[in-house]
């Protein structure tokens, strides 16, 4: 019987693809996996449920906040104001909010509701365009006084700009911020990020409860954007009928893969980013089949994603999932902040989250998922095994994320 050359070629490609797996997934610097390998095995023993057609983990119970809202006894009113902006996307917003609240609480200053600035010049919007302003203000009642805007008598031109490190400490505030605040009366904060470490501190601090409240109890989407996110999640679940409505969200953005930070240096054995082909092979290696629905944080389709779609036909970007009547407002090159926020909250709600890119997006999505009991965060690494549990993020397997200091 004649042999179809196309079938021969397809067979060779399939074998080659899986041979590549052994050499493809190298050690990355998301976190240390070797030390957490035993913890991952324990997770496999306890919570893996191989239902439907994929290696899905069962969600854990939603955790409850274990921080205590600070009680203020006859606080001294301060006439000073602290202003700041939210920048660089929702993964930064969480940390910027926390630092500003901690500083304002320590100085007994009034915090001014921030504006939101995108990466493009002139891309500026009000806090309420994305987040629920009233929720933010009421959540901080009794902790920090919040003003919706700076009083007219205070000129923004005369504000002293004070830079603070992410996860600012009370010692740093006392030594570097308080003297300027007392001298100037009003200041503008800018948070600097020297690392993306979101691991919990072993040492306790008086500001821990304030930090937890600010990070996990203040930000909610305004209603219209929340409806967009909900409709997209519902549509992804509809696409996932063969997997009981479960889907995978992958933080994979082509523009980020092209940046220097994602390019491994010559001879380096570490990886901080994974391309579409590598993610496709990784997901197949650990047992997800072609019926798995995948949501990518990439906004529009790019030809480099074809290799992923070849193995997982149900792979979508925002343009393939967002309601048509919402695309003009939320899916345009001029309004990137909306797109980032949508990605952040869909990634937080998905059944599985895979960060193809190391960074703060991964760290803060992980924090939000931990609080909601969604522990299936899978990070590619060079572990020899092929089980889902081998790749569970150490943020979960070792419970070393800051969120575990805030939720019980």
pLDDT by residue (tens digit) across 56-81? 877 887 888 888 876 655 555 667 99
pLDDT by residue (tens digit) across 301-352? 888 899 999 999 999 999 999 999 998 888 876 667 899 999 999 999 999 9
pLDDT by residue (tens digit) across 143-178? 999 999 998 888 777 789 999 999 999 999 999 999
Q: How far apart are CA 313 and CA 333, in angstroms?
A: 26
pLDDT by residue (tens digit) across 227-276? 999 999 999 999 999 889 999 999 999 888 877 677 665 445 567 889 99
Domain ranges of the chain: 7-62+222-405, 81-216
pLDDT of residue 38: 45
**Distance (Å) of CA 130 to CA 116, 225, 321, 348:** 9, 7, 20, 17
Q: How far apart are CA 363 and CA 156, in angstroms?
A: 33
Mean residue pLDDT of the chain comes to: 83
Phi/psi of residue 14, each to 5°? -65, -45
Q: pTM of this prediction?
A: 0.83
Query: Two tokens at 81?
Result: 């104001």
């Amino acid at each position: 019987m004649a042999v179809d050359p196309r079938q021969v070629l397809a067979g060779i490609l399939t074998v080659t693809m899986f041979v590549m797996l052994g050499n493809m997934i190298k050690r990355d610097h998301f976190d240390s996996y070797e030390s957490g390998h035993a913890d991952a095995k324990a997770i496999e023993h306890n919570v893996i449920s191989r239902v439907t057609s994929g290696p899905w983990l069962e969600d854990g119970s939603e955790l409850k906040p274990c921080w205590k809202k600070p009680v203020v006894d006859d606080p001294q009113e301060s006439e000073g104001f602290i202003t700041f902006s939210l920048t660089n996307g929702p993964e930064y917003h969480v940390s910027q909010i926390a630092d500003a609240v901690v500083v304002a609480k320590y100085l007994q200053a009034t915090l001014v509701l921030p504006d939101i600035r995108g990466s493009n010049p002139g891309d500026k919007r009000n806090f309420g365009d994305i987040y629920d302003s009233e929720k933010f203000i009421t959540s901080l009642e009794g902790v920090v006084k919040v003003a919706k805007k700076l009083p007219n008598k205070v000129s923004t031109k005369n504000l002293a700009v004070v830079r603070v490190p992410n996860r600012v400490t009370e010692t740093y505030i006392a030594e570097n911020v308080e003297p300027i605040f007392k001298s100037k009366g009003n200041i503008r904060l800018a948070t600097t990020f020297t690392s993306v470490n979101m691991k919990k501190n072993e040492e306790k601090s008086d500001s821990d409860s304030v930090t937890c409240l600010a990070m996990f109890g203040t930000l909610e989407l305004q209603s219209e954007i929340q409806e967009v996110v909900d409709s997209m999640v519902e549509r992804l679940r509809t696409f996932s009928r063969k997997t009981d409505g479960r889907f995978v969200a992958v933080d994979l953005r082509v523009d980020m893969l092209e940046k220097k930070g994602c390019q491994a240096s010559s001879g380096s054995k570490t990886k901080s980013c994974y391309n579409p082909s590598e993610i496709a092979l990784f997901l197949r290696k650990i047992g997800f089949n072609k019926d798995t629905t995948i949501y990518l944080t990439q906004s529009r389709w790019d030809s480099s994603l074809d290799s992923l779609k070849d193995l997982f036909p149900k792979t979508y970007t925002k343009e393939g999932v967002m309601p048509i009547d919402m695309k003009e407002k939320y899916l345009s090159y001029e309004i990137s902040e909306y797109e980032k926020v949508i990605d952040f909250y869909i990634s937080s709600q998905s059944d599985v989250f895979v960060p193809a890119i190391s960074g703060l997006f991964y760290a803060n999505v992980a924090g939000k998922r931990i609080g909601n009991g969604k522990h299936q965060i899978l990070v590619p690494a060079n572990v020899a095994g092929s089980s889902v549990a081998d790749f569970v993020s150490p943020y979960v397997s070792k419970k070393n994320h800051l969120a575990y200091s805030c939720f019980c």
